[in-house]
Chains A and B, each alone.
Chain A
Amino acid sequence: MNTNTTATTVAPVTKPGRFGRMLLTLGDVAGFVGQFFKEVVRPPYEFREIIRQCYEVGVRSLPLISLTGFITGIVFTNQSRPSLAEFGATSWLPSLIAIALIRALAPLVTALIAAGRVGSNIGAELGSMRVTEQIDAMEVSATNPFKFLVVTRVLATTFMLPTLMVYTVFVGLLGAFVNVSQGEGTSFLTFINQVFEAISFLDIFSSLIKTFVFGFTIGMVGCYKGYNSSKGTEGVGKAANSAVVTTMFLVFIEELLSLQIVNAIRAV
């Protein structure tokens, strides 16, 4: 009961607790994702900006992806060799690497590189546009900033991530081939044959779907953090930073989930 005697007392605004805040944030995120699906189908479409963002996400990531993919292929091959050698099974290296690359390494490497490069970029870019009122400026000129900024970026990351992942598989395999051709003297044809014998349609399909989801996550989280960035310069840094941290966390959760799903499919 209120012991205050003045009749005009305004009820104190109760601040939501930790759990309440989490629910509020979740609702906010759901609204943001919902708005994406609403805007993505409704014309007019920002084709030019989508292409520009695809270039930004895809082409501009190639140097870093090439390097990390290639090195991942070499290192993984090299590190796997001793264990296989114990059983005299080093001829299995190409199959082992193909499976490892396509099922786990390439999707993860691609997603983590993109989270670091693209996710932080989106968070910082939209964050600074929020802080300097550029997003408000779009809104008051009766244009749709969500459509121009968020929809285009999320589409770009969603479609470029699977593409980049396929590319990572190729450069990874190239690294692996360099290593086995030196170590075991495997010919290119043998290598390719073994690779294609090892991987199945399910491997490729599930990895494509998985990276599709990773790409959506990277774009969504970056945009959400940037679009809702708090005012001030530290808001921009925070948006970029938490975009990366949150994305990486979610990518690993999604990886675990997809593992469960794919295993369940394999079992039937």
Chain B
Amino acid sequence: MDNQKRTMNTDAVISIRDLRISFGEYHVLRGVDLDLYQGENLVVLGRSGTGKSVLIKILVGLLKADAGTISAFGQRVDTMSKKELDDLRLKIGFSFQNSALYDSMTVRENLEFPLVRNARNLSRGDIDRAVEEALENVGLSQTINQMPSELSGGQRKRIGIARTLILKPDVMLYDEPTAGLDPITCIDINNLINEVKERYNTSSIVITHDLTCAKAVGDRVAMLFDGQFQRVGTFDEVFDTDDERVQQFYHYNFVE
């Protein structure tokens, strides 16, 4: 067990204490504690259905926790007004598991969508430049006029990431960025995540159950099971244990 105390950590960018949520009879998160520090990539590992997506959705106010406290940038998230929440959301980029691209819009319109609605004083030229820069960052400038349905899974992922990066967030939340992609594309995405961190000094939570990804991008790793973070530390620290559940997770990834 990690011995984080149940007090807010003021050094952390995001600090979560005793977070609980249940759906009907199913207690998904049962007292989650977690700190995300400035400039780090924190990988959250866990099997399907353990509540990893639920956790980051609570962070941005898409879901409401039953109990617990969250603070981001020194402000309490769980008691925020709609306006404060929107201000916070500008600072947190959320990359969805299935990319969630707007499928009736072109790539350009997808990227413009959050930008023009949040920075209303931008000129047409500013917007075009921002879109081009965001696309260059993910290496997909040529797709600018394509529809999402014309893109491959890996391209969709990267466009989704570009769409969140366009608002220059301080924190990035990646929900299974490499799920369903081939190994080579996974490496591209891992590199992208590391580049984003270096270029913009963002702090990120990367959800995955892909250990190659965890090893490649994670400064720290936190393992979620039974509704709590049971192990937090570097990759090697987390897997240096006899705990059967942890070993099982390791072997499922590398042996199978």
Contact = CB atoms under 8 A, between A and B. Distances in A.
Interface of A: 44, 125, 129, 132-134, 136-144
10 contacts: A129-B102, A132-B98, A134-B102, A137-B102, A138-B113, A140-B62, A141-B94, A141-B118, A141-B167, A142-B86
Interface string B113-132: 11001101000000000000
B164 interface: yes
Interface of B: 57, 60, 62, 86-87, 89-90, 92, 94, 96-98, 100-104, 113-114, 117-118, 120, 163-164, 167
B120 A44 contact: yes
The 10 A-B pairs at the shortest CB distance, nearest first, are namely A141-B114, A137-B100, A133-B100, A142-B89, A142-B86, A140-B94, A143-B117, A140-B60, A142-B90, A134-B100
Contacts of B104: 125
A133 B98 contact: yes
A136 B96 contact: yes
Given A137-B100, A143-B117, 5 more contacts: A132-B103, A138-B113, A141-B94, A141-B118, A143-B118
A125 B104 CA distance: 9
Contact of B62 (A134, A136, A142): A136
B156 to A, nearest CB: 11
- Looking at A44, A129, A141, A143, the one whose CB has the most chain B CB atoms below 10 A away is A141
B114 A142 contact: yes
A257 B96 CA distance: 47
Contacts of B89: 139-142
A166 B118 CA distance: 40
- Looking at B94, B117, B167, the one whose CB has the most chain A CB atoms below 10 A away is B117
A129 B103 CA distance: 8
A177 B164 CA distance: 59
Contact of A141 (B97, B98, B101, B113): B113
A41 to B, nearest CB: 17
Contacts, number: 54
- Looking at B103, B120, B163, B167, the one whose CB has the most chain A CB atoms below 10 A away is B103
A143 B100 contact: no
A133 B98 CA distance: 8
B84 to A, nearest CB: 11
Contacts of B98: 132-133
Contacts of B167: 141-142
A140 B114 CA distance: 10
A157 B70 CA distance: 42
B96 A137 contact: yes
A140 to B, nearest CB: 4
Contact of B94 (A44, A125, A137): A137
Contacts of A129: 102
A135 to B, nearest CB: 9
A44 B101 CA distance: 23
B94 to A, nearest CB: 4
A196 B120 CA distance: 51
A142 B96 contact: no
A136 B100 contact: yes
B118 A142 contact: yes
Contacts of A139: 62, 89
Nearest to A46: B117
Contacts of A138: 102, 113
Nearest to A143: B117
Given A141-B167, A143-B114, A143-B118, A134 B101 contact: yes
Nearest to B116: A143
A44 B120 CA distance: 10
A142 B87 contact: yes
- Looking at B92, B97, B102, the one whose CB has the most chain A CB atoms below 10 A away is B102
Nearest to B88: A142
B90 A132 contact: no
B79 to A, nearest CB: 18
Contacts of A141: 89, 94, 113-114, 118, 163-164, 167
A132 B114 contact: no
Contact of B96 (A133, A143, A144): A133
A136 B94 CA distance: 10
Nearest to A135: B100
Nearest to A136: B62
Nearest to B92: A140
Contacts of B113: 138, 141, 143
A136 B99 CA distance: 11
Contacts of A144: 117
Nearest to B110: A137
Given A142-B87, A142-B118, A132 B100 contact: yes
B57 to A, nearest CB: 8
